[in-house]
Amino acid sequence: MQPIQEVMVVGLGAIGGAYALKFFNKLGITLRVLAGGERKKRYEAQGFHINDTPYQFRYADPAEPQPTPAQLIIVAVKDYGLQEAITEMAPFVGGDTLILSLMNGITSEERLGEAFGADKVLYGICMGLDGFRDGNVIRFQRYGTMSFGKADNTQWSPEVERVASLFDQMDIVYQVPQNMLYELWYKFMVNVGINQASALVGEGFGAFQKISEAHQLMQDAMKEVLQITQKNGVKLTPADLEKWDAVLVNMPPESRPSMLNDLESGRQTEVEMLAGTVCRLGKALGVPTPVNQVLYQAIRAKEQVAMKR
Ligand SMILES: NC(=O)C1=CN([C@@H]2O[C@H](COP(=O)(O)OP(=O)(O)OC[C@H]3O[C@@H](n4cnc5c(N)ncnc54)[C@H](OP(=O)(O)O)[C@@H]3O)[C@@H](O)[C@H]2O)C=CC1
Ligand SMILES: CC(C)(CO)C(=O)C(=O)O
């Protein structure tokens, strides 16, 4: 397998912007950002400000006459934007392309696999990256650690080796967990708790470090995911609640989870992918999900108010 030189970011937001910087102007790397139509015009006209530095990227337009495939495509759109992104990235997926999803939730890799072939897709999560975006302004204080890999990484596959070798060169902090599905579900449980509770409370990580009722609300939502995983074989444990507490305590108190950023910037949230999924799975598996049902209604209402402002 060839070393990766052609990298594409699909979704230049809080997460995509942070990782784009890792590849920007690096010797031997061509970085492109997917942007067609109106989006490309807007990006070319406005550029991006990441941590207060202006950037202009090279854009890949799905309508260009001879699209060159990328070797690694990092996907970081919101859940509700994935279908359109799949259609628009298709011209850049070739025989040699690997696709890494950094999206929250438990379904993006499956959806990408259905579109492009499961052998091309790697699971990924960002843990501890405190990204913020409003329009073309992106800020983050820390990358945290990315986890990626195939579902089972007892032995690294050639695809994992290929991406790990690129990440080593780019100084990307990562781990390749043996059981990636467990990590994916653990992250899902974290997002169901902190993202949704902070959207409701209207405060960032600091409130969950200090206010016991806020912390309890977060954990009550997480425990419903924990119960679901007792029935689907993933079997998260109470130790996983403590594992997140150990990360949470070190998050910058003023930083906000992505869902609260979405509300404050008047954008649609990922509540369907969080509480919506928990309620659907709970119903199918016979697990009561009263906390997520309330969170679903409350966040849907807040979202409509925020998007009208
Ligand atoms: N923010 C955070 O701290 C974290 C977020 N995550 C997860 O990462 C994922 C991305 O989140 P985040 O970075 O916050 O999202 P943002 O909303 O900041 O960014 C998403 C970006 O995707 C772009 N986009 C949407 N559709 C397309 C398309 N068809 N072609 C090209 N670009 C497109 C949007 O562009 P445009 O504005 O032009 O529409 C937008 O810039 C989510 O699943 C989130 O849950 C995970 C960990 C932390
Ligand atoms: C875990 C957390 C809260 C920050 O990395 C996140 O995934 C998000 O903001 O969506």
DSSP 172-195: --EE--SBHHHHHHHHHHHIIIII
- 166, β-bridge pairs: none
Condensed to tens digits (0 to 9), the pLDDT of residues 61-74 reads: 999 999 999 999 99
146 and 192 housed in the same domain: no
Does residue 40 sit in the same domain as residue 135? Answer: yes
**Using a 6 Å cutoff on CB, does residue 269 contact ligand 2?**
no
Q: Tell whether 167 and 223 lie within a shared domain.
A: no
CB 131 near ligand 1, within 6 Å: yes
Query: What pLDDT does residue 228 have?
Result: 98
With a cut of 80, say whether residue 1 has pLDDT above it.
Answer: no
Angle (nearest 5°) at CA 49 between 48 and 50: 110
Q: Which of 122, 151, 178 is the last residue of a domain?
A: 178
Helix or strand run (H / E) with residue 70: strand 70-75
Q: Is the CB of 214 under 6 A from ligand 2?
A: no
DSSP letter at 97 equals E
**1 falls within a domain:** no
Q: Is 129 in the pocket of ligand 1 (CB under 6 A)?
A: yes
Using pLDDT thresholds of 50, 70 and 90, give the confidence band for residue 276: very high
pLDDT digits (tens, 9 = 90+) for 68-116: 999 999 999 999 999 999 999 999 999 999 999 999 999 999 999 999 9
Taking CA atoms only, the protein residue closest to ligand 2 atom 3 is 257
Q: What is the pLDDT of residue 309?
A: 82
Question: Are 142 and 224 in the same domain?
Answer: no
Q: Is the dihedral of CA 136, 140, 143, 147 positive or negative?
A: negative
CA of 189 to the centre of ligand 2 (A): 11
Distance 15 CA to ligand 1 centre (A): 7
Do 141 and 193 belong together in one domain? Answer: no
Tokens of 267: 């954008």
pLDDT in tens, 211-223: 999 999 999 999 9
Domain membership of residue 61 (yes or no) is yes
What number is the average pLDDT over the span 215-238? 97
Q: Is the C-beta atom of 195 inside 6 A of ligand 2?
A: yes
The answer to whether 259 touches 298, Cβ cutoff 8 Å, is no
Residue 302: CATH number of its domain = 1.10.1040.10
For residue 297, CA distances in Å to 54, 257, 279, 293 come to 39, 19, 11, 7
Closest CA relative to residue 92, chosen from 59, 114, 118:
59
Give yes or no for a contact between 309 and 285, defined as CB atoms under 8 angstroms apart. Answer: no
Q: Starting at the earlier edge strand, list the strands of the sheet with 132-134.
A: 53-55, 48-50, 137-139, 132-134
29 and 166 assigned to the same domain: yes
Which pLDDT does position 148 carry in this prediction? Answer: 98
- The torsion angle over the Cα atoms of residues 155, 150, 174 and 240, rounded to 10 degrees, is -100
CATH number of domain containing 23 = 3.40.50.720
> How many Å lie between the centroid of ligand 1 and the Cα of residue 23?
18
Q: Range of 34's domain?
A: 6-178
Q: What is the mean pLDDT of residues 200-207?
A: 98
Co-location of 185 and 124 in the same domain: no
Domain boundary among 178, 197, 224: 178
Rounded Cα distance between 225 and 33, Å, is 34
Phi, psi of 95 (to 5 degrees): -60, -30
Q: Which of 157, 178, 199 is where one domain is finished?
A: 178
11 and 155 both lie in a single domain: yes
What domain count does the chain have? Answer: 2
Ligand 2 centroid – CA 195 distance (Å): 7
Please report whether residue 142 resides in a domain.
yes
What is the rounded distance in angstroms from the CA atom of residue 109 to the CA atom of residue 122? 7
Helices 212-231, 180-190: axis angle to 10 degrees equals: 140
